[in-house]
Structure 1
């Protein structure tokens, strides 16, 4: 399933969401200017390497403090589809969560979700020497928050049935519930495999962090949102 849009309008311009997308795109455009070997080195320089965090030994001299790679890794992507998929999810679901939290709290929430995602991935594979990059851990937190705030929102979704493709409206509870089940199952099935690929437990950790943090960070002036119950 690929979400295309939801039915919950934003009450104001999602400046932080747009800003995060712009930064991610600009960083990726910079990556494209690099020769192949330099592009790989860029990922190692700014990616998060679990082994370095757990062992305190550097595999490469980073241009930022070691723990700073937790932040920089959130803005580096491994390819166009990696970037496009992450930004699509952030664009669809980020604006509404930003609405409910407020701009400053949303930015804090986003970064903390990324931190939780990094911690989950490190715990799942503490000796991995493969760099972890991408915004998906932080965005997973946004998805967890959206699920809690707008479970009955309608999400226009591209659904594949073998060779057939349909565009249908599905409740956010189903779309995001299916998504997190896939992440958890994939993580458990590939746990311990020392190969590059998707940081499944980063997604799970970010999602859980989003569920936990969104209610305390939500603006107190606003009550429960029932707009998502539209049929």
Structure 2
């Protein structure tokens, strides 16, 4: 299979990887997680940090921070594959919009799941979940029928959202009690944002063409 080029996707891959390497080389990865990660407690005023990235920017800065090579590698793999396909369909500008909105949607979902949590949320998986949501909707080949007043597209969105929520719930159960912390709410928030934005972004591209 030949992947589309996806120049913006390529740029995101390089920037994300280089950010990790730079922080690791400087020995600043742990400090950066608190200074640049998304901390719900900061938004609620429960946590105060000196010298940190402004709280409203942390949903974006958090996408450049990862907890290890495995965390980084999995995210880059998902972005490299799905991102190129989605970018090839919607275009670079709408794709950038999708990625940014996904980052904020995932942070918002994580905030509502625990508004006073003091732990930082790091990683690009929330933003990438939005890309996955758009990919799932745009490239799904399964035939779905309308149900009553619900169009086939609406039914497809609901089924994909339900399936993703189930997958994330299973991940949460599988890692319960372990040292692995998965931002389940963030993944769900990002994915749903991708589902909702996929077709409007596609329409945006063709109206701008």
| Same fold, TM-score > 0.5, yes or no | yes
Q: Which has the higher strand share?
A: 1
Distance 1:106 1:221, change over 3 A: closer
Distance 1:73 1:79, change over 3 A: same
CA RMSD of aligned residues (A): 2.8
Equivalent-residue separation in structure 2 for 1:68 and 1:62 (angstroms): 13
Match of 2:166 in 1: 181
Equivalent-residue separation in structure 2 for 1:131 and 1:41 (angstroms): 11
Q: Indicate if the aligned counterparts of 1:8 and 1:96 stay in contact, CA closer than 8 A.
A: no
Distance 1:152 1:196, change over 3 A: same
Equivalent-residue separation in structure 2 for 1:120 and 1:113 (angstroms): 10
Query: Is the aligned partner of 1:117 residue 2:132?
Result: no
Equivalent-residue separation in structure 2 for 1:70 and 1:221 (angstroms): 26
Deviation at 1:101, TM superposition (A): 1.1
Match of 2:77 in 1: 88
Distance 1:26 1:177, change over 3 A: farther
Equivalent-residue separation in structure 2 for 1:111 and 1:48 (angstroms): 14
Specify which of 41, 44, 66 is matched with residue 55 of structure 2: 66
User: How big is each residue's C-alpha offset from its partner over 1:42-92, in whole Å with a ceiling of 9 and x where there is no partner?
Assistant: 21111111111122641x223432211121011111100000000000011
Aligned pairs, number:
189
TM-score w.r.t. the length of structure 2 is 0.80
Q: How does 1:41-190 map to 2 (within 5 A)?
A: 41-55=31-45, 57-58=47-48, 60-152=49-141, 180-187=165-172
Equivalent-residue separation in structure 1 for 2:109 and 2:174 (angstroms): 16
Equivalent-residue separation in structure 2 for 1:108 and 1:220 (angstroms): 11
Distance 1:188 1:218, change over 3 A: farther
Deviation at 1:15, TM superposition (A): 0.7
Equivalent-residue separation in structure 1 for 2:66 and 2:175 (angstroms): 21
